[in-house]
Amino acid sequence: GAGVSQSPSNKVTEKGKDVELRCDPISGHTALYWYRQSLGQGLEFLIYFQGNSAPDKSGLPSDRFSAERTGGSVSTLTIQRTQQEDSAVYLCASSVADYTDTQYFGPGTRLTVL
């Protein structure tokens, strides 16, 4: 398929471990977004990429969270020293150019921190 894909679909980890979440956007989409979906909290914006650069990192909740994007395509969200409050569904989306375009979402990665 040509949609946004994310891996893994589920991740269970122990408190204090690092995790990496991957997003493959739609081919040719310049903009890429990460969101966090917590129970009863809706979608929380984390970071926005335009190509390989991140002009908006304002949503990253702490310095334990980081993200990178290489080759203008795949992105990795890394959470270091995970805490139980990091448990959530992490959603990735992409759009053709920027915020003005329709965003297409992946199925998400459900992260559980024990």
Three-state SS letters, 49-66? EECCEEEECCCCCCCCEE
Cα(68)–Cα(85) distance, integer angstroms: 22
Q: Which is nearer to another protein, 9 or 83 (CB)?
A: 9
Cα(23)–Cα(43) distance, integer angstroms: 17
Q: What is the DSSP letter of 83?
A: -
Q: Which is nearer to another protein, 60 or 93 (CB)?
A: 93
Cα(37)–Cα(45) distance, integer angstroms: 9
Q: Which is nearer to another protein, 70 or 102 (CB)?
A: 102
**Least distance (Å) from another protein to the CB of residue 99?**
6
**Least distance (Å) from another protein to the CB of residue 73?**
18
Q: How far is CA 1 from CA 5, 15, 25, 27, in A?
A: 9, 35, 11, 11
Q: Residues in the site for another protein, rule: CB under 8 A?
A: 4, 40-43, 45, 48, 56, 91, 93, 98-100, 102-108
**Least distance (Å) from another protein to the CB of residue 106?**
5
**Least distance (Å) from another protein to the CB of residue 102?**
6
